[in-house]
Amino acid sequence: MDDFIAARSQMALSLGFHIIYSCIGMVMPVFMAISHYKWIKTKDPVYKNVTIAWSKGVAIFFATGAVSGTMLSFELGLLWPSFMKHAGPIFGMPFSLEGTAFFIEAIALGFFLYGWNRLNTWFHWVTGVVVGISGIASGILVVSANAWMNSPSGFDYVNGKYLNIDPLKAMFNEAWFSESLHMTIAAFSATGFAVAGIHALMIYRKKNVAFHTKSFKIAIIFGAAAAILQPFSGDISAKGAAKRQPAKLAAMEAYFHTQEYAPLVIGGIPDTAAKKVNYGLEIPGLLSFLVHDNFKTSVNALDKIPVKDQPPVAIAHYAFQIMVGIGTLMMFIGILYFIALWKKRDWFNKGWFLKLFIVATPLGFIALEAGWTVTEVGRQPWIIQGVMRTSDAVTKMPGIQYTFYLFTFIYFTLSLFVIFLLKRQIQMVPELYDR
Amino acid sequence: MLYVVILFLFASITLYFLLGGADFGAGIIELFTSTDNKHRTRKTMYQAIGPIWEANHMWLIITVVILFVGFPDIYSEMCTYLHIPLLILLLGIIARGTAFTFRNYDAIKDEKTQGFYNHMFVYSSFVTPLFLGIIAGSALSGQIDPTAKDFVHAYIFSWLNWFSVAVGFFTVALCGFLAAIYIVGETDNVDDIKRYIKKAKVSNIVAAICGGLVFIASDIEHVGLSKWIFGNPIGLTAVIAAILSLVLLWFIISDKKNRQWIRVLAAFQVSMILISVGASRFPRFVIFKGGSSMSLLTDHANVNTVDDLGIGLVIGSMFILPALGYLYYSFQRKDR
């Protein structure tokens, strides 16, 4: 395997796993804090049990998120030393603030996990809330750093030199808000659906129904609300990509020829050589409308971009279709949930309704990975959009393929362990919480 | 602001050594505890480090962030030539962090899986500080050779040399020493206290021997360690202070009233060792073969970044330090 491909694969793999751990690690504390609040207010012991059970999940995901995050902070340098050499001082600001947020999260988590019967009730509750807030803040900060790679600002690039560096301007680059918003909502919807799905399965199997029903409700309200909001945030992101990264937009839409009444292509197999999409469903004018709020206005296509600056069209297009398809499906499931909540209470006891959520368990994370693929693959061949090529950033140390194999093994093992542990946690719910 | 950033860099490294290092030491002590006492030792250790566990390891993240934001050239050179030891360090961190959490949060505590987590924990507790020491030793020993043409000289001998390895073992011994000292104050059981004091003394002797080996290795590799330390007033003072504190420590270690003091003395001693090395090499942070080096005073990021980083660190520490202090205070043994 080529060292460059190996380095990219290792980075993709590391981020692909870290994104799951960290999304769960940042959203579950919020669920935990809500359940904790309900317990303090109602004194219903089921809420306390749910809080404790979830806090164990949080501890597991925080630990795996922390180690995989530590790995990433090193891997950035180990795999892309030339990138970090130049980019570190420019986009380092969100990273240093993230370090602070992460630190506070670790302190608050220490208080929360070990504070039962030891701390003042409300202080204890607040520490849980702080875990959630600082987790979300960390996520927003890290995504802002990634947004800078898509929308570099806060420096002047003159003759290969990075001058007039302004780290604050780099942090608040044009893409930071839309990308952070999209990622945060995605984290809530993916984690909400995943957690709700597992509890739905337990309700379906008639195990500890009271415990799982309360858990299901807290998780799905967030998941469903986020899934309904997500298309709006996606629209903001796509408009931003059209403006700042036309190559990314054109690749994810598999849109080859610049034209008025630009069509939106749904599905299909892009043929890059022939510059067309086979078997896709074309809706004329819709892409123009989505980008410019006008069916006629021309949208720039791949033909405006030199071939050497184009991202891999097929991967970006497939990933984008998967993300949008699943996102739309989740939005409808979310709407169904609220219909059930307000009008059709009896659905909650119906098998088909629970099955719907059981099937939806992994959907959010599939969409999230697909969306991440769109962001990262869509930016290629650049590591800093328009400034530095990924191939110029890679380490000169040979043999990266072996570290890639090693990391692949580690991440898969780690994930198997996490699944094993969660399974045992759920398996023990009757014994631990049926008192 | 540059000096503020450098101060935070050294403070983070020192705190990581004193707090994270003691956590590593907990695993090292467990590794060298007889099977009969393992269970009880593990429990005492867990009670002591459970709540502060994650926070102790955040100092490494702070260190790395300061390096790549404030000193990107230094960070990228280290990442290139010390790729392999950094990678092993990472493997150690993953194995340790996850094993510690998994053994506590596995809902079913059967012997087989717990045994597996324990093995993973104790061996990674040994390997991680070993490679931290190797990395530190390599940065300072002048074995990194950017002109090397072949893989082995560029990426292996940069860190695989007598001096770096000796520093690695010295680091492991110091971590074990810190943990043994800290744990003395964590139990009331008289037998346990005796055992831990013995452990502290043994690990102290081992640390002293490893320290001697570091000097011998420095001679073999022509690193010139004794010349830097004894030729530098701060280095010399720090070493003398470390030795004096060690003598005092041996005198008072068995006295029950002095449990807090022996912790302070041990932490002081280790800090002095770090200061003596840091001060005698300052401002050089990475030294290459042939004598050229990278300096904290010249190889830093542009002024804007350094200023913003400094402000960020000061503000961040206003949040972190009180919270961290309150965390330690809340989970002191008196509350358990």
Q: Across the 435 residues of chain A, what is the mean pLDDT of every consecutive 10-residue run?
A: 89 91 92 93 90 89 86 87 88 87 89 87 92 93 93 88 86 91 95 93 86 91 94 90 89 87 86 83 86 86 88 91 94 93 84 90 94 93 91 87 89 88 83 68
The DSSP letter of residue B154 is I
CA nearest A86 in B: which residue?
B72
Distance from CA of B242 to the nearest CA of A (A): 30
Q: Which chain A residues in 52-91 lie under 8 Å from chain B, judged by CB atoms? A: 56, 59-60, 62-64, 66-71, 73-74, 76-78, 81-82, 84-86, 88-90
8 Å CB contact of A99 and B79: no
The DSSP letter of residue B18 is I
Question: For an interface test with A, which of B117, B151, B302 has the most A Cβ atoms less than 10 Å from its Cβ?
Answer: B302
The confidence score (pLDDT) of residue B336 equals: 41
The confidence score (pLDDT) of residue A133 equals: 94
Question: ipTM of this predicted complex?
Answer: 0.84
Q: Compute the average pLDDT of residues B276-288.
A: 81
The number of helices, as runs of H, and strands, as runs of E, in chain A is 15, 8
Instruction: Fill in the amino acid letter for B197.
Output: I
Around Cβ B224, how many Cβ atoms within 10 Å? 13
Give residue A163's region: left, alpha or beta (phi > 0; psi -120 to 50): beta
Q: Tokens standing for A267?
A: 């599905």
**Contact residues on chain A for B302, CB-CB shorter than 8 A:** 89, 165
The confidence score (pLDDT) of residue B333 equals: 59
Question: For an interface test with A, which of B87, B96, B317 has the most A Cβ atoms less than 10 Å from its Cβ?
Answer: B87
Distance from CA of B184 to the nearest CA of A (A): 22
8 Å CB contact of B312 and A398: no
Q: Tokens standing for B92?
A: 């150690």
A427 touches chain B (CB under 8 A): yes
The confidence score (pLDDT) of residue B334 equals: 54
Nearest one of A378, A73, A428 to B110, comparing CA atoms: A428
What total number of domains does chain B contain?
Answer: 1
Backbone angles phi, psi at B335, to 5 degrees: -85, -10
Question: For an interface test with B, which of A14, A72, A98, A114 has the most B Cβ atoms less than 10 Å from its Cβ?
Answer: A114
Rounded CA gap, A285 and A58, in Å?
46
Distance from CA of A265 to the nearest CA of B (A): 42
Nearest one of A83, A79, A186 to A140, comparing CA atoms: A186
Helix (H, G, I), strand (E, B), or coil: what is residue A66?
A: helix
Q: What is A165-224 written as a DSSP string?
A: --HHHHHT-TTHHHHHHHHHHHHHHHHHHHHHHHHHHHHHTTSSHHHHHHHHHHHHHHHH
Rounded CA gap, B2 and B284, in Å?
14
Rounded CA gap, A21 and A19, in Å?
6
Higher pLDDT, B224 or A75: A75
Rounded CA gap, A425 and A55, in Å?
11
8 Å CB contact of B58 and A78: no
Nearest one of B333, B227, B217, B321 to B8, comparing CA atoms: B321
8 Å CB contact of A84 and B312: no
**Contact residues on chain B for A73, CB-CB shorter than 8 A:** 61, 64-65, 68
Rounded CA gap, A372 and A19, in Å?
9
The DSSP letter of residue A152 is -
User: In the predicted model, is pLDDT for residue B189 greater than 80?
Assistant: no
Around Cβ B132, how many Cβ atoms within 10 Å? 27
Backbone angles phi, psi at A180, to 5 degrees: -65, -40
Distance from CA of A182 to the nearest CA of B (A): 26
Instruction: Fill in the amino acid letter for A217.
Output: K
Nearest one of B300, B69, B235, B35 to A145, comparing CA atoms: B69
User: In the predicted model, is pLDDT for residue B63 greater than 60?
Assistant: yes
> From the list B58, B87, B309, which residue is nearest A92 (CB)?
B309
What pTM was computed for the model?
0.89
Backbone angles phi, psi at A162, to 5 degrees: -100, 105
Strands B293-295 and B284-287: antiparallel
Distance from CA of B323 to the nearest CA of A (A): 7
Rounded CA gap, A120 and A114, in Å?
12
Look-up: residue for tokens 């907990």?
A: B26
Query: Whats the size of chain A, residue-wise?
Result: 435
Q: What is the pLDDT of residues B125-167, one digit of tens each?
A: 999 999 999 998 888 888 888 887 888 888 888 888 888 999 9
Assign B20 a pLDDT band (cuts: 50, 70, 90): confident
> From the list B50, B308, B320, which residue is nearest A103 (CB)?
B320
Assign B335 a pLDDT band (cuts: 50, 70, 90): very low
8 Å CB contact of A89 and B327: no
Angle B259-281/B2-15 helices, nearest 10 degrees?
A: 130
Angle at CA A287, nearest 5°, toward A285 and A293?
85
**Contact residues on chain A for B77, CB-CB shorter than 8 A:** 81
Rounded CA gap, A265 and A279, in Å?
10
> From the list B64, B312, B323, which residue is nearest A74 (CB)?
B64
End-to-end CA gap in chain A: 56
Establish how many alpha carbons lie within 13 A of residue A245's alpha carbon, considering only the half-sphere containing its beta carbon. 33
Residues forming beta bridges with residue A389, ordered by sequence position:
A382
Measured CA to CA in angstroms, residue A375 lies from A95, A238, A251 at distances of 19, 11, 11
> From the list A86, A88, A109, which residue is nearest B54 (CB)?
A109
**Contact residues on chain A for B108, CB-CB shorter than 8 A:** 424, 427-428
The confidence score (pLDDT) of residue A434 equals: 64
* Structural domain harbouring B46: 2-335
From the number of C-beta atoms within 10 Å of its C-beta (0-12, 13-18, 19+), residue A263 rates as buried
Mean pLDDT of the residues in chain B? 83
